[in-house]
Amino acid sequence: MASIRELHQQLVRKERTATEITQAALERIHQLEPKLRSFLAVTADQALAQAQRVDDQLASGEEIGLLAGIPIGIKDNLCTKGIRTTCGSHILENFVPPYESTVTHKLAEAGAVMVGKTNLDEFAMGSSTENSAYQVTANPWDITRVPGGSSGGSAAAVAADECVVALGSDTGGSIRQPASFCGIVGLKPTYGLVSRFGLVAYASSLDQIGPFGRTVEDAAILLGAIAGYDSKDSTSLKVPIPDYTQSLIPDLKGKRIGIITETFGEGLDSVVADAVYQAIEQFKALGAEVQEISCPRFRYGLPTYYVIAPSEASANLARYDGVKYGFRSEEADSLLSMYTQTRAKGFGAEVKRRIMIGTYALSAGYYDAYYLKAQKVRTLIKQDFEAAFQSVDVLVSPTAPTTAFKAGEKTADPLSMYLSDLMTIPVNLAGLPGLSLPCGFDAQGLPIGLQIIGNVLREDQVFQVAYAYEQATQWHLHQPEI
């Protein structure tokens, strides 16, 4: 499938209709889903109705925006009015939201065509999309491997051409790590840049919605459409939203790039390290000044995250009790047993694990030792980044320590699974923008991701560096044969 801009030009020139583009995406989904399992729901009727509206606008001579008629996948933790939203959990198996999330509302207003809701780790908790209560999504580059998580369905759908772009959410790497594993572009924006209204909460101080695309430009266009202040989200930032496509300049003269030394060490595959070092050489060739930067507290990101995120999850997920909405156990003989049985049957193992960790960390006598301590370390991690950005414009690191691993390989060992997010977590703790884009392949033909981290609200610089690298290389042109 072509890029957003190419499809837009085809529509404007009347070479194709939005209905034809949408039908092609739906046929591709129908053809690949038995193998890939990216989607939990395909919204074909609604998609064709949305496409028809765009065709009617064009027929009447109206101008359309860049996203009008573009097929898009939506992670199934974003509320869609009248369309089931499960969060990949049995507890929300039959939940149909009575309201629309801000981002999906904005996309509908822009004329984008939602082709379906994509699979995810239950409540966005996981790094492989194996924690979904419904199905395991496959990686389009090798269907025996995982697509990453928790936004694995969105990443796999974009990589396999089932849709042009998609939305995911990123709490500790859930957009960037699947983008890395699936060989596409994924961006976690600055915390507060995109409204979280209608995103089912996992860890409210870390969650952020962001775009997936096959190119940096597609991600930039999609971010421009969903970013902006929203009075329904108290953490939303009141800042002007630039045209991010204006930052797409294939030149890095005078740009200062820092390599985070702490990300090159134990646990990093040598093939990933080599690909990232080659990317750094490319930055130099494009005129950038490159220097090594130490973020000494970076390595405390993982333990800090696994206190803060589960603590927030244990509070956020307390609402799933069988009383107001979602699944309710019918076998209970009292209110208390209904609570316990509903949660025991409705939640999967990983969600229960994190709720228990979080509840323990917040309990009397442990709050100061764990949660409060973790918040202090979070501040120190943020200070490391602030110090780094005084001498550089962006920071780079590998996105993930390895390429995509085999399905089932890490499910029995939660700790080794958690290590998949080693490089991405500190960016969430500091609320910064981070982007992953492809920078090579390993011997098995699996994609390798490069992470570019910007200062607060400096998505423009992240996009510029990513775009210049992308245009100077061929990695984004590779497509999986599925």
Mark whether 406 is an active-site residue: no
Tokens of 375: 């918040």
Complete DSSP assignment for 367-397: TIIIIIHHHHHHHHHHHHHHHHTTT-SEEEE
Mark whether 205 is an active-site residue: no
Strands 394-398 and 447-454 turn out to be antiparallel
pLDDT for res 415: 86
Q: What span, in angstroms and rounded, lies between the C-alpha atoms of 316 and 204? A: 8
pLDDT for res 319: 95
Max alpha carbon distance in the chain (Å)? 70
232 SS3 class: coil
Whole-model pTM: value is 0.98
- Expressed in percent and rounded to 5, the helix, strand and coil fractions of the chain are 45, 15, 45
Return the closest-CA partner of residue 246 out of 213, 223, 275, 212. 223
Write the CB contacts of 428 (distance below 8 Å, at least 6 apart in sequence): 170, 171, 172, 173, 188, 191, 206, 208, 305
**Counting beta carbons within 10 angstroms of the beta carbon of residue 159, is it exposed (0 to 12), middle (13 to 18) or buried (19 or more)?**
buried
Residues β-bridged to residue 292: 259
Residue of 128, 174, 180, 311 marked catalytic = 174
Reported as a single tens digit per residue, the pLDDT across 194-232 is 999 999 999 999 999 999 999 999 999 999 999 999 999
148: left (phi over 0), alpha (psi -120 to 50) or beta: left
The whole-angstrom distance between residue 380's C-alpha and the CA centroid of its chain comes to 25
Return the closest-CA partner of residue 198 out of 116, 80, 319, 321. 80
Matching residue, tokens 């020139």: 13
Residue of 75, 106, 117, 255 marked catalytic = 75
Q: What span, in angstroms and rounded, lies between the C-alpha atoms of 309 and 139? A: 26
Reported as a single tens digit per residue, the pLDDT across 51-81 is 999 999 999 999 999 999 999 999 999 999 9
Reported as a single tens digit per residue, the pLDDT across 139-197 is 999 999 999 999 999 999 999 999 999 999 999 999 999 999 999 999 999 999 999 99
Q: What span, in angstroms and rounded, lies between the C-alpha atoms of 20 and 39? A: 21
Write the CB contacts of 210 (distance below 8 Å, at least 6 apart in sequence): 167, 168, 169, 170, 175, 186, 187, 188, 189, 194, 223
Return the HEC string of 309-366: HHHHHHHHHHHCCCCCCCCCCCCCCCHHHHHHHHHHHHCCHHHHHHHHHHHHHHCCCC
Tokens of 480: 């999986």
| Phi and psi angles of residue 340, each rounded to the nearest 5 degrees, phi first | -70, -40
Q: What span, in angstroms and rounded, lies between the C-alpha atoms of 389 and 13? A: 45
Mark whether 75 is an active-site residue: yes
Note down pLDDT in tens along the chain; length 482 residues. 799 999 999 999 999 999 999 999 999 999 999 999 999 999 999 999 999 999 999 999 999 999 999 999 999 999 999 999 999 999 999 999 999 999 999 999 999 999 999 999 999 999 999 999 999 999 999 999 999 999 999 999 999 999 999 999 999 999 999 999 999 999 999 999 999 999 999 999 999 999 999 999 999 999 999 999 999 999 999 999 999 999 999 999 999 999 999 999 888 999 999 999 999 999 999 999 999 999 999 999 999 999 999 999 999 999 999 998 899 999 989 999 999 999 999 999 999 999 999 999 999 999 999 999 999 999 999 999 999 999 999 999 999 999 999 999 999 998 889 989 999 999 999 999 999 999 999 999 999 999 999 999 999 999 999 999 999 999 999 999 98
417 SS3 class: helix
Query: In Å, how far are 54, 149, 189, 238, 373 from 427, measured between CA atoms?
Result: 38, 16, 10, 21, 19
Tokens of 414: 């939660």
**Counting beta carbons within 10 angstroms of the beta carbon of residue 253, is it exposed (0 to 12), middle (13 to 18) or buried (19 or more)?**
exposed
Go through the domains of the chain in sequence order and give each one's CATH number.
4-257+391-477 (3.90.1300.10), 299-375 (no CATH)
CB atoms under 10 Å from CB of 221, counted, come to 26
pLDDT for res 324: 87
pLDDT for res 191: 98
pLDDT for res 151: 98
Residue of 150, 151, 180, 311 marked catalytic = 150
| Alpha-carbon dihedral 165, 166, 167, 172, rounded to 10 degrees | -100
Instruction: Answer yes or no: are the C-beta atoms of 157 and 178 closer than 8 Å.
Output: no
Q: What span, in angstroms and rounded, lies between the C-alpha atoms of 263 and 407? A: 25
CA atoms within 13 A on the CB side of 442: 20
